[in-house]
Amino acid sequence: MKRIYGLSFVAAVAGIGLVCAQPAQASWQLTSSVSSSVLPGSWGSGFVVLSQTANSYSFEDVFDNGYGGESGTFTYTGTVQWVGGGTQPSTFSLSETGLAQAQALYTTTATQTAKDGLGDAATTTYTSSPRPYVTTTSSGSHVTTILIAAGATYTFTRTLSTSSYGGSVNDCYVKYSVSAN
């Protein structure tokens, strides 16, 4: 019985040694930066980085300028490169989700724009009850396979924008997330 335990223990220790001796996980690295031009609002959360890892990034901004209307443009720049050991694959997947939304309360005649940075068309909805408001939204999710040469980097830019004028209260929201795998 002791001998069986001894062999089991040696096998377990050897197994741990093999797991620990594995090379580091090779992966894609995403470097991110965001610039914005926003008409300052009196309400809203402001710019928030929701998450950031070695290969992903997401942010959002809620801004509002009350009766005067508002607009905002956000430019995201990402650079993807292979890091770590192992052989670099010739492709990677770029997964993106974008959302831009403008809302004007107490009106159905607001002037609005919304661009999610990914080319998705904007749609406008009108609501009359319990109070009139109009909302324009552009949103979508896309996965793109990118061909990349060994040792190269891939840089891309996405521009999200939204504006709302004409409501008694105008608010805007943008959200963008990206990952490279």
Q: Where are the domains of the chain?
A: 25-180
Q: Of how many residues is the chain composed?
A: 181
Mean pLDDT within 104-129: 94
**What is d(CA 89, CA 75) in angstroms, rounded to the nearest whole number?**
28
Share the mean pLDDT of the chain.
Answer: 85
The answer on pLDDT for 4 being more than 60 is no
Q: What average pLDDT score do residues 65-79 get?
A: 88
pTM of structure: 0.82
Q: Please report which confidence band the pLDDT of residue 23 belongs to, taking 50, 70 and 90 as the band edges.
A: very low
- Please enumerate in sequence order all residues whose Cβ is within 8 A of that of 136, keeping only pairs 6 or more positions apart, or say none: 101, 102, 103, 112, 113, 114, 122, 123, 124, 162, 164
Asked if 78 and 92 touch (Cβ cutoff 8 Å), the reply is no
How large is the average pLDDT for residues 81-106? Answer: 94
pLDDT at 10 exceeding the cut of 70: no
pLDDT given for residue 146 in this prediction: 97
Q: Is 113 exposed, middle or buried (0-12, 13-18, 19+ CB in 10 A)?
A: middle
* Helical ranges in the chain per DSSP H: 2-20
Residue 22 clears pLDDT 80, i.e. is over it: no
What confidence tens digit (pLDDT) does each residue in 138-180 have?
999 999 999 999 999 999 999 999 999 998 888 999 999 999 9
